[in-house]
């Protein structure tokens, strides 16, 4: 199974690795140590402390909730609003090799989106489009999503978009498929933190978009325990920072 990424995707991944935690903060701490050894003790210790402090903060649920709160702009979708849409569009969130199945399978984020899209399709009877390419090679994500949506949730999508490498691609290529069938009004399913970027991208394609967020970042703990580091919080902070950078990039690109 091929896992060769396109050059553009590789560049985005490398840039993200360098500028997002944890690597960016580790590099900051290493720079601080280097400056200490070069005689810039005050500046070096300051950078080292800042780097270590940020590493800690970006592993806490408290900071994860704050960062994702900046992105979770849309409330849960009232079922009654589905009467105003023509189709449900669900965006891919990644796939992985699953040796136990002998094929690619959706990652957890994608499964959350597919489950919610299936729920919306059942209660509304509206057709579903799945969207996702193969930025890292292998089977297109749209095809993997379509199989999971049918076999795991009993919903067969009407459209399968399998060429998108980015959210902007999702919007452009999905809109092309939908316009052929006269679809202009959609419910857009993705993680709540992703829709802040995805909704404007789809609206820019001339679609009337009703946000259908799922996968809100929430914790069952409170108080001081929100400041205890967790691996989950580190991943959620990474995703939130990536989205904030992505929103800024999309804004600059369209000005």
Mean pLDDT taken over the chain: 93
Q: What is the pLDDT of residue 190?
A: 98
182 pLDDT band, cuts 50/70/90, is very high
Lowest mean pLDDT among 2-11, 67-76, 115-124, 150-159: 2-11
In the numeric block, which tokens belong to residue 183? 């679809």
Residue with tokens 């009703």: 210
Q: Residue 117's closest CA among 108, 129, 105?
A: 129
SS3 assignment, position 195: helix
Domains of the chain: 10-70+229-253 (no CATH), 79-214 (3.40.50.620)
Task: Characterize the bridge pairing of strands 128-131 and 159-161.
Answer: parallel
Rounded CA separation 217/67 (Å): 10
Residue with tokens 């002998």: 102
CA dihedral 9, 10, 11, 16 (to 10 degrees): 90
Rounded CA separation 166/183 (Å): 22
The residues that bridge with 210 in the sheet, in sequence order, are 187
CB neighbour list of residue 83: distance below 8 Å, 6 or more residues apart: 124
Q: What is the pLDDT of residue 229?
A: 97
Report the side by side order of strands in the sheet with 185-191. Answer: 159-161, 128-131, 87-91, 185-191, 208-214
- Indicate yes or no: pTM above 0.85: yes
pLDDT digits (tens, 9 = 90+) for 141-176: 999 999 999 999 999 999 999 999 999 999 999 999
Burial (0-12, 13-18, 19+ Cβ within 10 Å), 103: middle
pLDDT digits (tens, 9 = 90+) for 6-20: 666 776 677 777 788
Q: For the stretch 216-225, what's the b/e string if a residue is b when 16 or more beta carbons lie within 10 angstroms of its beta carbon?
A: ebeeeeeeee
Output the DSSP codes for 83-98: GG-SEEEEE---EEEE
Lowest mean pLDDT among 33-42, 107-116, 177-186: 33-42
Lowest mean pLDDT among 5-9, 80-84, 179-183: 5-9
SS3 assignment, position 191: strand
């Amino acid at each position: 199974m091929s896992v060769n990424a396109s050059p553009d995707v590789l560049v985005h991944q490398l840039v993200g690795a360098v500028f997002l935690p944890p690597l960016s903060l580790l590099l900051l701490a290493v720079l601080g140590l280097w400056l200490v050894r070069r005689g810039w003790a005050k500046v070096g210790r300051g950078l080292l402390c800042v780097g270590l402090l940020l590493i800690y903060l970006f592993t806490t649920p408290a900071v994860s909730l704050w960062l994702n709160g900046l992105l979770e702009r849309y409330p849960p979708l009232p079922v009654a609003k589905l009467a105003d849409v023509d189709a449900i569009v669900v965006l891919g969130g990644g796939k992985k090799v699953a040796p136990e199945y002998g094929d690619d399978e959706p990652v957890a984020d994608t499964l959350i989106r597919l489950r919610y899209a299936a729920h919306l399709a059942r209660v509304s009877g509206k057709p579903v489009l799945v969207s996702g390419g193969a930025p890292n090679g292998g089977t297109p994500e749209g095809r993997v999503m379509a199989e999971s949506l049918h076999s795991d949730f009993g919903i067969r999508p009407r459209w399968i978009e399998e060429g998108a490498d980015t959210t902007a691609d999702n919007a452009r290529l999905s809109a092309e498929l939908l316009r052929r069938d006269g679809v202009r009004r959609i419910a857009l399913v993705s993680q709540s933190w992703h829709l802040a970027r995805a909704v404007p991208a789809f609206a820019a394609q001339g679609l009337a978009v009703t946000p259908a967020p799922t996968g809100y970042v929430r914790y069952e703990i409170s108080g001081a325990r929100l400041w205890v580091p967790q691996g989950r919080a580190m991943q959620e902070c990474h995703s939130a920072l990536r989205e904030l950078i992505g929103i800024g990039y999309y804004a600059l690109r369209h000005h």
